[in-house]
Structure 1
């Protein structure tokens, strides 16, 4: 995934009201940017951290800038939660996900479960239907271990239970955690921040839901799904 325009570097002044971030640009200007991330952003919201912003060409947008990347732990971390679905769509189109090859169509936002929409429904003549949910992950507290979620994620737990129902009905059901970091080699559910989610993930794996995690290559120009990491 290529950023549509060159990113602008600055320093985070504060992140607040979940979706707003004040940033001091390198030219001395201070702006308010859209922060497309409803999570806690633990370790990525400290004032003074270097950040990278995109700028929309749409003159009607209330906030022209969007917070895209944070420099933390010696590398770049993607915080835009809109990107993982795009990254997976790109990888599916290029047949780069070894676990999800052989499907002729990749439909997006298909209704399933109790008033929900699954991120992707994969279908092919010689394969079982595959219900695919994508989750963004950017928390790493040490040791190369990526964790999800970084706050209570009741809606995500609900999605897991809906996937389990599809698996029990005979279809494939898959959740892919997209780790928008380059410094992780393992993934685990974050049991101390959301024990219900961790318990639910363990339970649905026993019910047939497949769980995968992929790290990304990240630069100020591109973000790309790159390599699988171990799920523990």
Structure 2
């Protein structure tokens, strides 16, 4: 995936109110920008750290600049969760995620209950279907990608829905889109959300496929192309 043209380099001042951040441009001006990440972004905010912004041409936006990448310990991290589904779809269409091949069709935003949707429904042909949920992962410790970075009741609910689909005879999978290149494996962040970690283990034991793929973002391009081992046990 190519990021939008005319990206802007800046330095982080602070992030606040979940979806806002203040940055300092190279000419010294300060801007408030949109931060497209509902998580805590634990470990991703360094004061005066390098960041990359995209600029919207939509005149109706209050904050036309969007935070795309942050540099942490010398590594670029993709924090725009709105891009994770597009990254996953690109990888699926290019045959990168071999565990979910072959693919005849991909349908997005599939309603599975009165109050919930999952990200994709994959048609493998011959009547074989897989429901797929995608989660963006930015937290890392000692080379290990971790999710979530804050307690997520919504994420736990999605795991329950995926498990129910398997129990009803359907295929179901969860894909962690890890947007940083300094990790070699994935695990649930049980220290942060033990309920989610337990639910992930139950889902895996019940037949939900748990996958993790890594991208190594650069200012300009993000490519989800590297499978990571998934560690569900401590």
Does the 8 A contact of 1:54 with 1:65 survive in 2?
A: yes
Shift of 1:114: 4.8
Offset of 1:3 from its aligned partner? 1.1
Q: Secondary structure at the match of 1:226?
A: strand
Pair 1:221-2:212 in alignment = no
Distance in 2 (alpha carbons) for counterparts of 1:200 and 1:158? 9
CA-CA distance at 1:45 after TM superposition: 1.8
Aligned equivalents of 2:16, 2:193: Cα separation in 1: 22
How many pairs are equivalent?
231
For residues 220 and 111 of structure 2, the distance between their equivalents in structure 1, rounded to whole angstroms, comes to 34
1:185 paired residue number: 184
**Corresponding residue for residue 153 of structure 1:** 152
Contact 2:76-2:216 within 8 A present in 1 as well? no
SS of match in other structure, 1:90: helix
Deviation by residue 1:63-105 (Cα, 9 ceiling, x = unmatched): 1100010011221001111111000111122222101111211
SS at match of 2:44: coil
Moved more, 94-103 or 197-206: 94-103
Partner Cα distance (1:114, 1:213) in 2:
28
Tell me which residue corresponds to 1:46: 46
Identify the residue that residue 141 of structure 1 maps to in structure 2.
141
Asked if 2 retains the 8 angstrom alpha-carbon contact of 1:6 and 1:220, the reply is no
Check 1:13–1:41 CA distance in 2 against 1; reply closer, same or farther (3 A cut). same
Q: Structure 1 residue 46: deviation in Å?
A: 3.0
Q: CA RMSD in A?
A: 1.0
The correspondence of residues 14-93 of structure 1 with structure 2, limited to 5 A, is: 14-93=14-93
Maintained 8 Å contact 1:2/1:221: yes
CA distance in 2, matches of 1:166, 1:103: 19
TM, length-normalised to structure 2: 0.96
TM-score (structure 1 length as normaliser): 0.97
Matched, 1:162 2:161: yes
Q: 3-state DSSP class of the match of 2:228? A: strand
Stretches of 4+ moved more than 6 A in 1?
Answer: none
Shift of 1:141: 2.0
Task: Please give the alpha-carbon distance, in whole angstroms, between the structure 2 residues aligned to 1:58 and 1:125.
Answer: 40
Using the alignment, how far apart are the partners of 2:46 and 2:97 within structure 1? 34
Task: Give me the whole-angstrom Cα distance separating, in 1, the residues matched to 2:174 and 2:132.
Answer: 6
Cα distance in 1 for partners of 2:80, 2:225 equals 17
